[in-house]
Every structure is written in C-alpha cells, then in structure tokens.
Structure 1
Amino acid sequence: MEARQFFHDSEIPQSEAERPLIIVGNGPAGMQCLVELRRRGFTAPVTLFGEEDWAPYDRVKLSTFLSGSTGFDDLTNLPAELDADVEHLVGRAIIEINPTRRWVEDSLGQRHPYSRLVLALGSEAHIPGIPGTELSGVLRFRDMADAQALMARRLRSTHTVVIGGGLLGIEAAHSLCRFGTNVTLIQHADRLMNRQLDSEAAGMVADSLARAGVDVRLHARVKSVEGRERVEGVRLADDQVLPCDTVVFATGIAPRTALARRAGITVASGIRVNASMQTSNPYIYAVGECAQFQDRVCGLVMPALQQARVAAANLAGDAVSYVPVADSTWLKVLSLEVFSAGLFSDEARGLVHRTLVYRDREKGIYRALMLRAGRVVGTVSVGPWPERQQVLNRISDGKRLWPWQIGRFALTGTLGDHSGQSVRQWPVATVVCQCRGLTKGQLQGYLDQGVSTVTSLKQASGAATVCGGCEPLLDSLCGGEGGIKRTVPGGRALAVIACLSALLLGLALWLPPPAPATSVLDMSLFEQVSRNNVWRQWSGYAVLIASLLLLLMSLKKRFPGLPLGGFSGWRIAHVALGAVALGLLYWHTGFSLGENLNRWLMLSFLGVGVMGIAAALLTRLQASMPALGRLRQGSTWLHILVCWPLPALLAFHILSTYYF
C-alpha cells in the first residue's frame, strides 16, 4: 500500500515570502510561463509540477517521433530558466486545490503551499461516446504514452483505422502506413483539417496522403467499434463494416477542468479567466488549453504561449492584458507546408469581399488572400511562402493593399512586403516568431547582448523552437544567407549591359545632333541612311520587331514552364535586346522628339529604356544593399507602366506614316 504523507494545516507556512509560486503543468504553456517570469526578473521560488513521467517535450514533433524520423532526445528542449532554483517534480499529478488555505495536494499525498498558483493543465483526448471504445486495440494519439503505444502496435497491425482528419489524425495515418500497415483515415467533415484549411488546400493534402498509401474517407461517421474482446472492425453510419485490428482516435480535445471545478473555481467549457489570466480566485491563474477567455478555448500553441506571457507579466507586477490575435496555423503536414490565418475557410467566405488566388500546380503551391475593404483579413496556403510572417502582420495591422500589390500577387504569388530585405531592415515592432510572439526588436536585443548565431539565438529567446517555421528569418537577422548575403544569378552581366546602355544613351542625349550637310558630297553615313526612305522604313521595322520580342521575353517570368533556359538567362537576353533596341531607335530617329503623337511615342520609348536600365542596375545592387529592395520594385513597376501606351502610340505612328 502506497504511503501518503499529509501536512496538518498548522504546518503550512503562513508567511507570503515562504510560499513559492506553483505552476501545475510542464507543457508548452507552463514552461513558457516559467521562462517569462525569470526573464522579467521574478526571483521568488517556483515549483513546477508535471503529471507525465517524462521531462518536458515538444508535442508538435510527436508525429515525427512516431514515424521514427525524430529521436526522443530531439523532442526535449529544456530552457536555461529551468535551473537549480526551480523545484521540478515530474510524475506528480495535483489532485486537490484548497483555495482558502492556499495549498495543493499531489498524488503522493503531500501538500504544497503557494503564494500564487498557475494552472496549465492542458487538455485530454476526446473519445466520442460510441460502443466499443473500451476494446483492446483502441488507442488515441495525444501524448508521449500514446505515441509509444502506437509504436509498439504499428509492426503487428495489418489494418489500422484512424478516426479524425485533423493534424494529429493525418500525421498518425501517414506515420503508421510507412511500416506496411493498411491505413484508412475517416473524417466526418467534407475535407481534411476543416478548421485550418479551405477546400482546395485540403484537397492537396488529401491527394498527398492518398499518394502515400492512405485510404481517405470523407463524409464518413463511425457508428461503433466492432469486436468481442479486441477490435475486429468499425461500423460506419451506413452500416458498412471496415475490418481492422487497430483503431486510433484523433477526434479533438477536451479542456481539463475537473481539478478547478472541485476547488470551486468558475468553469464553463474551460476555466474562465479575465484579461490578466486570473480565474474567479485572484490568487489562481489559468493558461493554455484548459483556460477559457470570453467564449473561446484555445487549441493551438501560439495563443497558449501568448496567455502564458500575459500571466507571467501580471505575476511579475506588470499590468498586461490578453488581446487575442487572429488564429493562425503554420505546420508541415506530409512534407507540405500549410498555413492559414484569419477568415479563410469556405464557411467564412461570405464575410469577405474579394478572394485573390495564386496557383503553381507544378510546384505544388496554392495561396489565397481574403480581402475586406481592401485589407487582408484571412489567408490560406499550401507550399513554401517566404512572406507568411508579413501576411500575418498585415492581418494584424489592417493596412490596405495597393492596386499594384494585388496585381503582383495575381502574377507572382507575392506582395513584395520586405521583398529581398534582410530581417535587419524590418521595423522593430514586426513579429518574427509568431509562436512565441517575439518581435524583431526583442530578438535584436539578444543580438546586442552578444548572441551571434541562430542556434544561440534560439536557445536564448526560444524562437523557432515550436514549429521552426521562422528559422530562416532568424538566419536573416543573424546575417546569414537568408539575409544580406543574397546573390543574383547573372547580376554582373546585367550591371555591365545596363551601365554601357546608360553611358551610350547619356552621350546620345547630351551631344548635339549633327548639323545638316550643305551638299550631297558632305553628307555623313548616318545622314545618308537617315534620309533614305528605304533604310528608315527597315530601321522602323527593326525597332518594331525588337519591341515585340522584348514584350514576349518579359512573359518568361509569368510562364516559368516555357522551354529554353531559366529566367535569369532570359532576363540577361531581355536587357541585351533592350540595349540593341535603343541603338536601332537612335538609328531610326537620332533621338529627335518630333511633334504631336510622335513626341509622346519617343518619350514613351525613352522612359521604358531609362526605367529598364535603372531596374537592371538596382537588381544587381540589391544583392549587397537589401535596403534598395523597394526602390528596385518601384523602378520595375514604372518600367512596366510606361510600356502600356506604346502599343497604341505605335499603331497610330504606323497608320499615320502609311496613310500620309
């Protein structure tokens, strides 16, 4: 029989200074609360309780652990704040809270007094109330114990049914089918990850899952788990029976509230908290998946960590209020990067005014922006997207998109925010690590203190230790290849051609035109050709053909599937042909502006040339001076805009020449 030790109430110290702050739960929210307390100079004693027998681990990586691509040591990431001054008790569940006397009792029967109490209890796997869930072979996928049970089961299972098409269900199905097991994934909704993706993005995930060998069943509902003592199959709502020997439930979560409810703390769906993360008892706080702020219980890591920071700030004496941000999901599913935030789902499309979509099926890229009154209110994407963090910032700050940004997104899938910039050039208030809520200014503070590498910055700040999606941004901030050390393929050739073109164009415009000869014998070769109607006609044709070729070559970036080399080679050829076109134009006109529409035509030609030269030079210079990114974008767009009148002006010029 297990010994139980109790303190009498008289033995509980009453001095506030003798009572530690207690955090119940060593998951992401509890650990973040501890880290933030220490960073804010909170030096009082802290006791940290963990119910599981494991050291704190990264739940986000459980699926990679299940698949065998990540070891247990890679899951643990103990912060420096978890030092000898913190009493860390693992395998010690808290079973009772006495709010009046301010102590908690653990599973060994020991009572621990507290000055303040933080409940980071998390949630537990939700198992639907259907017959057969008690049979042997019914598992869940939520924590380390579940992952180990699945690892032991995967080698002997011949057919596994995974119920639940959320992230955990998808990852479990994919991990299990890698070991020769037939896997069926059942989702009651019309698409996978229906809370994180829209129909098109979810379809791309489903296709990838099917290619991996998983049988995906949508619009399906499990009526019961069949079998006598162990699982033999699942019965669907249409009475179809799928034979199987293992059933894995990944059907959502339920906040852990029983402990708070027994203590008389106000509970609804979760433990009710105010903007300071205080419960109905002012000495008790709640954060993460067990807490309910207003009418919402968070089920994602990012808001849980944000709540932990707010609670720690108030415990340290700073008045900070919790302001929910737009829910965002930034994950890697089946090697696909999926991202969503704000109003993005099919059901929310009625709340937006316009949806912008960019697709590149060959590269597996899908990006959608939801706009309301010209502002980004939601987004969803599949595939790599370097601008994800900037898009999240746009949802937060509510800035309007300019028309050229909308056009750029439709053509290239990018908005151009901070394009080509090192993170060093970003505003200090820009969020870099969304999961931890760390801004560029906060991370720069660590660099100013002597941190110099991405690894040390991750350890010091905690950035990129949850989902890892912002690690390239940290590399950029530290001056890595993702930042200022950017190279432009063919940049030197661009610069040489642009400089020569600028020099010759400048000389042609600066030098006075040659005076007309007084006799035929004194005429120069240029004047003889320029006054010859046949030569003038052919030089005009050459300018027209060069202009059409330049227009066609500019489409290479819009249609990357075109053959004959990559974009960088076509860009060099485009600039070289532009220089030739300027020479032909000089041969045809001597850069004489002419009158009426001819004057506008010449000005348009010269404007296109000048802006093209500027864009080429800035493209090369941007590699070493990222701050020129916006200037380069502006010159490129001006180069395109000045082209617009050319077709109409050329048509009028040709018609007027032949008509008269």
Structure 2
Amino acid sequence: MEARRYQPQPRVPEAETAEPIIIVGNGPAGMQCLVELRRRGVTTPVTLFGAEHWAPYDRVKLSTFLSGSTGFDDLTNLPAELDDSVEHLVGRSITGINPARRWVEDALGQRHHYSALVLALGSDAHIPSIPGTTLSGVLRFRDMDDAQALMARRLRSTHTVVIGGGLLGIEAAHGLCRFGTNVTLIQHADRVMNRQLDSEAAGMVTDSLRDAGVDVRLNTSVRRIAGSERVEAVVLADGSELPCDTVVFATGIAPRTELARKAGLKVANGIRVNGAMQTSDPHIYAVGECAQFQDQVCGLVMPALQQARVAAGCLAGSAESYTPVADSTWLKVLSLEVFSAGRFSDEERGLVHRTLVYRNASEGIYRALMLRTGRLVGAVSVGPWPERQQILNRIADGRRLMPWELLRFRFTGDLSEAGVGQVSEWPAATVICQCRGLSRGQLQDFMGEGCDLTTLKTRSGAGTVCGGCEPLLDSLCTGGAAAARKVPGGTTLAIVSAIAALLMALAFWLPSPAPAASVQDISLFEQFSRNGLWRQWSGYGVLALSGLLLLMSLKKRFPKVPMGGFTGWRIAHAVLGVLALSALYWHTGFSLGKNLNRWLMLSFIGTAIVGITAALLTRLQAAMTGVGWLRQGTTWLHILVCWPLPALLIFHIVSAYYF
C-alpha cells in the first residue's frame, strides 16, 4: 500500500472569488447590509442566516404589533434585493466560526465557506441580577417571540409590572394597558426616558402615561421578585410589596458576543470594530447592536443601519469610514410625538452654553434647542415638529445659527422661515430619511419619472423604519410643501387691506375738515359732526366695531372659539376693520385731539396701519421668500399696539358722559 504524504487543509478556499458573502443575522442591520451590497453593484452570491423562525420583520414596530394596531403582515417588508441570488436560511443559527479557514458552522453541523463574513447578531435583553427572574410569569420585550408571549398573556394578566422606563418599557406598558390590564411602570431614575428626554419633556410623557392608565413610579427599583413557582409580587427598594402576576423586563440590552469570543475575535462590551466595521480579522465585519466602535455600542436602529451601509461600501471596494452621528429618537405613542437628538439631557447641560425653549401649552408643544458656541448640539421636543429632519441636519453640519433664526424660534418654534419648506428645493445632499441614510438626490433618483408615496417607500426603503420622514417623502412626491405655502383667501384679504390703506391715505391727504365761515359753506361732514345724535351714533358704531374686532382676536389665541374657519375669520376681521375706520373718520375726521383723546387716536391709527401691513405681507409670503419673518413680526406688533385700546376707550366714554 502506497503511503500518502499528509497535506494540511489550505487556510483559504482555492476558489475564493466563488465563495459567497455570509451575513449572520436577518434583522434590520443584516438586511440593510444585503440591500446596500446589491445597490452598489456587488453581484457576489450572498447567504443570509436568521436564528429566529420568523421571516425578517420590522422590530421598531413591535410595540404597535403588541397593542394590536399593526398586523404581522405589516411588519414584514421584504426588500426586492432578497431575490434568487440570495440563499436565505430562516431558523438556522450559527454555532461556530473558523476565521483561519473561513467557514461558519450552523446548528445542523453544516459548514459554509465565505469570502467575507458580516456579523449582525443583535443583542439580548439585559436581565438584572435579582432573585426571582426564573419564575413563571417573568417575561422580556425584545423580539417577536417576546411579543407573542406577551400577547398570549395580556388578556389573562390582572396586574403587570414593567421594569424599565426607557423607550421599550413605555411602549410595552402602553401596549399592555389597552386591554384592561393594570400596569405599573417602575423606573429607577427621576424621569422616564432619562437618556432621551430632559426633565420637562419627560414630565409631559409621564403625565400622558398616567392619563392612559399606567401607574408610573419613579426613583425606585425592584429588589426581588416574590413567588414560589409563579410571580406573586415584586418587592421594591423601600421594602414595600406590590402584588402582580406578570413582570416584564425592558432594562436595556446585552450585545451577543459569545460567537465572536469563541472565534478568537477581540471583544469588550461588544465585538470591537474599526471605522470600516472590520473586526480583529479583516475578513469579518460586525454591525449593529453586537458591535462596539471605540467605546460605544449602539442601541438604536439608525446608527445600526449606518454601520451596515459602511460595511457594505467597504465590501464593494469603496473607502468608507463610520462616523457616529448624533443619536436621535422619534417615538409616537400615547398620541404624543417625542423627538430628541444630540446632547439634551440634564447631565450634559455642562457641555451646553445656552438653551432656547418654545412652549405652546394649548397645543401640547414643547421644543428646546441646546447651543454651544452658537451651534446646535442638541434638541428635544414633545408634540408635532415638521422640522425634525432639518434639525438633525443642522446638528450634523455644525453651522452657526443666525440671530434671526434664534429670534424666530422663540416666537414661532421654527428655525426656518417656511417651516419644512419645499423639499424638492433642498440641497441634493440633504438627508431626508435618517434611518436609511437617503438624501434628497438619491430619493429623486428612485422616483425616476415620478411615483407616489407608497411606490417610493417600496423602491427606496425610506419611511419604513420609524416613519418620521413620511411627511417629507409625501411632499417630495406631491409638492405638498409648495401648496402648503399658499395662503387660503390671501388674495381677498389683500384686496380688502388695500382698500383700507387707500381710504386711510385719502383721508390723510385731504385737508382736515375745518368749521365753515357761514351756514351756506357748511360741508356734509360738518353737518353730521355738529348733529349731536349722528355724532353719538357714529361713536357707538366705533365702539361696537372695536369691541367686535377685539373679541374676534380671541380666535387666533383660542382656535376652538366658534367663529367659523380661520380663512373666513381673517377676511371678516379685515372687513370689520375697514368699517371701523370709516366710522372713526365720520366721528373724528381723523383729528388727533388732545390729551387722552390724542393717545386714543394714535392707538386706533397705529393698530390699523400695522394690521394692514401684516395682511398685505400675509399675501406676499406665498409668492416671495424672505417676508414670512417680517409678516410674523408685524402681526405681533399689531397685537402689541392694540393692547391700550380697551383702557383708552373706557376712559373716553367715562369722560364724555361723566363730564
């Protein structure tokens, strides 16, 4: 028998170029990496492993699935890139990696060679080390299996305790309390979402939670979970006992690193990566919640998708590098829209030189900007804010805010003159969908000859993660922002205001009515002014019209006052102003008079002039840029000049009848 010489197995498969790219993990980061590879022209076969037995789904929408407002079919938005060139193995976990020979081994013991490996392993729910976490009735809220377990339990649970007042904890508490279950939310910090919101914004969220029926307990923690075999109660830090039958942990994440650790890759809190998202082995990449760049592990979807884009770019041959952007959170729950980005927490206030706040209590709006050396470094808001995406871009570009922008924010809550503005006119490099990293130029390339919102979302994937950019996408498709700049009834308002301006100019241009030298030369105006009855009735007319105008001003401050639509109200306000000026002329001839009468006339005339100017600018702002801020200023000046009128009218009436 001929002896054979031992030949060691080569370190790299001979046909390296024929080996596929393997992506381990079919969550958001893994799927984004696949999409980017195909969009960048990489035709190498891809093998995609998913440990869960579910088709890829949108984890961001798990809370709406738990609450029953979203069906499972709405969670699965499979991209077109998941085609026949991709071998997708669902319910197949990877148990081992051999970096030297470049293969992975799955749960069935099969080995798969790779030319490059992308680890998108995600994370597990962090469970604190307290007694009782193994009891029946202790659940977590992290993935689809958790959501299914919570849905199965929500109808038979009488009292559920959710531990953790972060994003997931709030969503879980809100989703569970909708089914008649008593829900208590335990938060160790002094406010909910303490990593995403400042104190005032967190207080508004807490109030909404309590209004929805959630018992929120702050500045406390769970010492242990009591029960023999099943959950019976939780014992709080002060020793008090809270009876319950279900405990849900939403206390943060623990990156999945065991697979990388066994393979000999460098691991700290997460799998260590460089700017190209490469691990200590240059052929292995890590993205998402399992990866650690410098000293940071991302826990949000936006940076995870950004890392996936960088890894795909490097695999496609481009020299890309990951640069962390300002963390941002957008949450829509409890009928509230909550947004934060950059540095905003109380702990970071030392890094902030100035904070600007805008509040509108009647509409439930709170917005705060954090500035450092005149540049925007953080923002937080509660309530709708169409400028969210622009705020993120302003934080990223690091440009100084202009004084007029800061002043505009104090009065209107917006930095830009026209709010969102016309999206199609934004610079091509401006990012529209932060989650997918898609700019205005890229989105218009996807649009091609034109498409509707649904088609654009399908083609590009924009708006399918958090949904915060949907209004901008709709504006890009339909030109909605351009239509929004048009002022309903603006032309009619301008015509009425022009008539008022013409009448005032004519009254001031004509010589002041003087007493006639003889009865034969007496003018029509003097006939009325000398007639006590007519003079009295003209005064009553001025008083009635002025009172009605002042009453109508409440419509602007209190939108629920029943005075019809805002467009009709504004035109009626202008018409009444013209009538009031006419009555004032017949009553006074625009003579300024003396003492308090002079001040009353000056207040009347000043209010009219500023009001006419504001009305004309309202029409002009639809056709001209740069006048919106001027129109806003004249409107506030109109209100300011009008303030003395009621008091001066009262003094005039009292003096006329008393003396």
The answer to whether the superposition gives a TM-score over 0.5 is yes
Higher alpha-carbon deviation: 120-129 or 582-591: 582-591
Aligned pair 1:161/2:161, yes or no?
yes
- Aligned 8 A contact 1:330 1:337 in 2: yes
SS for the counterpart of 2:624 is: helix
Residue 176 (structure 2) pairs with residue 180 (structure 1): no
Alignment partner, residue 191 of structure 1: 191
Q: 2:512 touches 2:591 (CA, 8 Å); kept in 1?
A: no
Q: Residue 382 in 1 paired to residue 382 in 2?
A: yes
Give the stretch that moved more between structures: 136-145 or 575-584: 575-584
Q: Which residue identity is paired with 2:497?
A: A
The equivalences for 1:55-74 within 5 A come to 55-74=55-74
Aligned AA for 1:62?
L
C-alpha distance in 1, partners of 2:186/2:14?
55
* SS at structure 2 position matched to 1:359: strand
Offset at 1:645? 9.1
Give the match for residue 575 of structure 2: 576
- For residue 579 of structure 1, report the CA deviation from its aligned partner: 4.2
1:633 paired to 2:629: yes
Letter in 2 for 1:478: C
| TM-score, length of structure 2 as denominator length | 0.84
CA RMSD of aligned residues (A): 4.1
Paired residue secondary structure (2:215): strand
Offset at residue 516 of structure 1 (A): 11
Q: What CA distance in whole angstroms lies between the structure 2 residues aligned with 1:387 and 1:530?
A: 56
Q: Which residue of 2 aligns with 1:367?
A: 367
Q: Is the 8 A contact 2:607 2:642 kept in 1?
A: no
In structure 2, what is the equivalent of residue 292 of structure 1?
A: 292
Between 163-172 and 601-610, the greater mean CA deviation after superposition: 601-610
Aligned residues of 1:421 and 1:629 also touching (Cα < 8 A) = no
Task: Check the 8 A contact 1:618/1:628 in 2, yes or no.
Answer: no
Does the CA-based 8 Å contact 1:165-1:186 persist in structure 2? Answer: yes
Find the aligned partners of 1:413 and 1:493 in 2 and give their Cα distance.
28
Letter in structure 2 aligned against 1:76: T
**What are structure 2's unaligned runs of at least 5 residues?**
1-7, 593-599, 648-659
Segment of structure 1 superposing worse, 388-397 or 449-458: 388-397
Tell me whether 1:14 sits opposite 2:11 in the alignment.
Answer: no
Question: SS of 1:190's equivalent?
Answer: coil
Whole-Å Cα distance in 1 between the matches of residues 642 and 384 of structure 2? 37
Alpha-carbon distance in structure 2 between the residues aligned to 1:647 and 1:25: 65
Distance between the aligned counterparts of 1:195 and 1:420, measured in 2? Answer: 27
State how 1:154-553 maps to structure 2 within 5 Å: 154-419=154-419, 421-447=421-447, 449-479=448-478, 481=480, 483-484=482-483, 488-501=487-500
Name the residue aligned to 2:650: none
Report how far residue 580 of structure 1 moved: 5.2
Task: Using the TM superposition, name which of 372-381 and 515-524 deviates more.
Answer: 515-524
Could you tell me how far apart the structure 2 residues matched to 1:514 and 1:205 are?
62
The answer to whether the aligner puts 1:52 opposite 2:52 as a matched pair is yes
Give the aligned residue type for 2:70.
Answer: T
Q: 1:557 is paired with a residue of what secondary structure?
A: helix
Q: Which amino acid aligns with 1:619?
A: T
Q: Aligned partners of 1:573, 1:200: CA distance in 2, in Å?
A: 39
Q: Could you say if the C-alpha distance between residues 515 and 325 of structure 1 is closer, same or farther in structure 2, counting changes exceeding 3 Å?
A: same
CA distance in 1: counterparts of 2:630 and 2:308, whole angstroms: 42
2:343–2:378 Cα contact (<8 Å) kept: yes
* Residue of structure 2 in register with 1:82 after alignment: 82
Q: Is the 8 A contact 1:279 1:286 kept in 2?
A: yes
Counterpart CA distance in 1 for 2:397 and 2:526 is 61
465-474 vs 340-349, greater mean Cα deviation: 340-349
State the one-letter code of the partner of 1:44: T
Contact between 2:272 and 2:294, CA under 8 Å: does it hold in 1?
yes
Cα separation, partners in 2 of 1:399 and 1:575, compared to 1, 3 Å: farther
The 1:229–1:385 alpha-carbon spacing in structure 2 relative to 1, beyond 3 Å, is: same
Question: Alpha-carbon deviation of 1:248?
Answer: 1.2
Which string of whole-angstrom CA distances, capped at 9 and with x for unpartnered residues, describes residues 349-392 of structure 1? Answer: 23323333333334332222223334332221222222222222
Do the aligned partners of 1:25 and 1:122 also contact (CA within 8 Å) in 2? yes
Between the two proteins, what is the percent identity of the paired residues?
72
Deviates more, 1:548-557 or 1:316-325: 548-557
Task: Give, in whole Å, the separation in 2 of the partners of 1:133 and 1:646.
Answer: 66
Q: CA separation in 2, counterparts of 1:612 and 1:640?
A: 10
Partner SS, residue 128 of structure 2 = coil
| Cα offsets for 1:6-36 (capped at 9, x unmatched) | xx95698422221111111111111111111
Aligned partner of 1:596 in structure 2 is none
Partner of 2:39: 39
One-letter amino acid of the structure 2 residue matched with residue 233 of structure 1:
A
Partners in 1 of 2:636 and 2:245 — Cα distance? 63
2:5 aligns to what?
A: none
- Tell me the SS of whatever aligns to 2:371: strand
Mapped partners of 1:344, 1:91: distance in 2: 41
C-alpha contact (below 8 Å) 1:529/1:536 kept by paired residues: yes
Distance 1:465 1:458 in 2: 7
Cα distance in 2 between the residues matched to 1:75 and 1:242: 35
Q: Which moved more, 1:479-488 or 1:145-154?
A: 479-488
Q: Matches of 1:559 and 1:405 in 2, distance apart?
A: 26
The aligned amino acid for 2:332 is K
Mapped partners of 1:312, 1:592: distance in 2: 78
